[in-house]
Structure 1
């Protein structure tokens, strides 16, 4: 599975954080990688889980960074899809040295085009531009 498809799967798993407690997320991880529409190799499933867990561990810090960077918006007001995309990209920008900032932003905009609303790509790009500086 290529990096873009892996990122998309990580996004879909991370999205579940909005609807499940932290205690339930271990079960959600298992369900996602075993009873999904997608067939994952063991390696892909491990990569998805590993990156999700790293992001989940940093969520309070990521949300704080998002809230500090945005004016007039905070994580409570953002659409859940947009917020999840932004969280993933902010993690990649701030904590994942293997992903260049431009790639993280571009991939986030592509996810917003695919999963978000009409204004999502511009919104996601605008928020993430603040992290590119």
Structure 2
């Protein structure tokens, strides 16, 4: 992930942000929001830009905002498929990664199911533990199977997800 400090003199990063990078930035926004639930997502994005923490693109901002707007529905799904786990026992990293992926699975049909699940697992591997990654993979796999999403290929998704 590149930070706002890596922008060139015109204020642009000069780099094309991949969907993976966008997801990582949306994840960072959701993670931050989990500590500040009363703060508007727009304010969190603005603060991140001002403090040069991240520079979310349109997809990252949309994904984080949609996930937060649908939070209650998404958290209901997490609780339904997190067998023997209550939401308050799940790490913020795993919770943020699952919220992001479930948002894509349920509300952004052009994203391939496998891509969304894999990205969430990779975020957990990077920012949490192997156990969190395994847990997230199991929960999201159950969501995809039970919600009949496993066959969705997301053919409209851009190459290089």
Q: TM-score, normalised to structure 1's length?
A: 0.88
Task: Note the C-alpha offset of 1:69.
Answer: 1.4
The superposition leaves residues 6-47 of structure 1 with CA deviations (integer Å, 9 ceiling, x where unpaired) of: 000000001012210333543212112343244x4xxx5333
The answer to whether the Cα contact below 8 Å between 2:97 and 2:124 also exists between their aligned partners in 1 is: yes
- Provide the C-alpha distance between the structure 1 equivalents of 2:49 and 2:22, rounded to a whole number of angstroms: 12
Q: How does 1:93-132 map to 2 (within 5 A)?
A: 93-132=105-144
For the pair 1:71 / 2:77, whether they are aligned, the reply is: no
Root-mean-square deviation over aligned CA pairs: 1.6
Q: 2:45 aligns with which of 21, 29, 39?
A: 29
Q: In 2, Cα distance between the equivalents of 1:73 and 1:33?
A: 35
Which of the two has higher C-alpha Rg? 2
How many equivalent pairs are there?
129
Q: Which has the higher helix share?
A: 1
1: distance between equivalents of 2:101 and 2:58?
20
Tell me, which stretches of 5 or more residues in structure 1 are unaligned? none
- 1:86 equivalent to 2:104? Answer no
Determine helix, strand or coil for the equivalent of 1:97.
coil
Q: More displaced, 91-100 or 2-11?
A: 91-100
TM-score for both structures, normalised by structure 2? 0.74
The answer to whether the 8 A contact 1:105-1:128 is kept is yes
